[in-house]
Amino acid sequence: MSSFDPIALECLAAVIEEGGFERAAQRLAITQSAVSQRLRALESQAGTVLLVRTRPLRLTTAGQLLLKHTKMLRLIRADLARDLHDLAPRLGGALEHERLSIAINADSIATWALPALSALARQGLLIEIIADDQDFTHERLREGQVLGCVTTLKAALRGCSVSPLGFMHYVAVATPDVVRGRLAGKPLGKHNFDALPFIAFNQKDDMPGEFIGKAFGLKNVRLDKIFVPSSHGQLRALHSGWGVAVVPQMLVRADLAAGMLVDVCPGTRLPIALYWHCWNLASGVLDALSDALKKSAAEQLESV
């Protein structure tokens, strides 16, 4: 099999990363027609369809494999740039930086993960963080969209290594006014948890239902939900009295201590185990990413 054109591969990646042909063309500084031509040439070389032109665009299995191949090539180039910079700073600095994608759940982004990556970002590593629910980030890795992910999945994916990071403990909180008004000053219980809405990340976020099920021994919990797709956005909604939210304890520790928020279900914590998955490749850049995340997690997450 002849080598795939790296320019065409980057074109495929741009279409997926930008979410369409027009934005991919803008990013690559070419016409939409040129984007289509490059993809047709790549599909011809692969001998199969790579992209299903639906809304949103969807990669076929072959397309996922080529996207993963493209990400691997980026990682190789990033390793080369790093090694050359160590040997000859002037030459290594002249190489084009490679954007490396990882998937992290929003609560980790809002708490412990960003500080872990700060040193690498300051060194010039271009990192793309894709936010998703912790139960679904591994699908991004499986499809080749990212080179690593923080997820609740314990078993290693094919071709990947996995490392335990620790536990994030979740608590149910609301403002004192919400507790006094909507809960009549009482803690959250089996007979009043449906008295007010729960703030969730999106339709995939079942954290509130999981928390209530554990707290009160219930199955098939049904809740009224308000969707706010941001951890800090949920915090603002909480302070504005929108309802109850099940959030990382480390995110609201200061607000609880100051009395700005109230633990509405005292004594109940929902521990969520997190794991770091990444491609099983020999890469200095990938090792640096992995080590940074694991070090920060060891310092800030709990072991049980």
Residue 291 has pLDDT above 60, yes or no: yes
Kindly report the average pLDDT of the chain as a whole number: 88
Position 93 scores a pLDDT of 46
Q: Average the pLDDT over 252-268 and give the result.
A: 94
What is the distance between the alpha carbons of residues 269 and 253, in angstroms, rounded to a whole number? Answer: 13
Q: Is residue 223 part of a domain?
A: yes
Report whether 4 contacts 69 (CB < 8 A): yes
- How many domains are contained in the chain? 1
Q: Which among 160, 113, 166, 125 is positioned nearest to 139, based on CA atoms?
A: 160
Position 213 scores a pLDDT of 92
Q: Is residue 185 part of a domain?
A: yes
In the block, tokens 């390793």 appear at 79
Q: Is residue 197 part of a domain?
A: yes
Residue 59 has pLDDT above 70, yes or no: yes
Residue 250 has pLDDT above 50, yes or no: yes
Q: What is the pLDDT of residues 197-228, one digit of tens each?
A: 999 998 888 899 999 999 999 888 889 999 99
- Token couple for 37: 């031509």
Q: Is residue 246 part of a domain?
A: yes
pLDDT band for position 192 (50/70/90)?
confident
Q: Is residue 281 part of a domain?
A: no
Q: Is residue 27 part of a domain?
A: no
pTM, rounded to two decimals? 0.78
Q: Is residue 2 part of a domain?
A: no
Q: Average the pLDDT over 249-267 and give the result.
A: 94
Calculate Rg over the CA atoms of the chain: 22
Higher pLDDT among residues 272 and 283, named by residue = 272
Report whether 149 contacts 139 (CB < 8 A): no
Range of the domain at 256: 168-272
Q: What is the pLDDT of residues 35-52, one digit of tens each?
A: 999 999 998 888 888 888
Position 237 scores a pLDDT of 96
Give start and end residues of each alpha helix (H) in the chain: 6-18, 21-28, 32-46, 61-87, 89-94, 106-108, 114-122, 137-142, 176-182, 207-216, 231-239, 249-258, 284-300
What is the distance between the alpha carbons of residues 214 and 208, in angstroms, rounded to a whole number? Answer: 10
Q: Which among 127, 126, 152 is positioned nearest to 137, based on CA atoms?
A: 152
Q: Average the pLDDT over 271-285 and give the result.
A: 91
Q: Is residue 49 part of a domain?
A: no
- Please state the three-class secondary structure of 229-270 as a single string: CCHHHHHHHHHCCCCEEEEEHHHHHHHHHHCCCEECCCCCCE
Q: What is the pLDDT of residues 72-126, one digit of tens each?
A: 888 888 877 777 766 555 444 434 456 789 999 999 999 999 999 999 888 888 8
Higher pLDDT among residues 99 and 153, named by residue = 153
Measured from the Cβ of residue 43, the count of other Cβ atoms closer than 10 Å reads 19
Indicate which CATH number applies to the domain containing 193: 3.40.190.10
Position 151 scores a pLDDT of 94
Position 235 scores a pLDDT of 96
- Token couple for 170: 């979740």
What is the distance between the alpha carbons of residues 143 and 66, in angstroms, rounded to a whole number? Answer: 10
DSSP state of 217: T
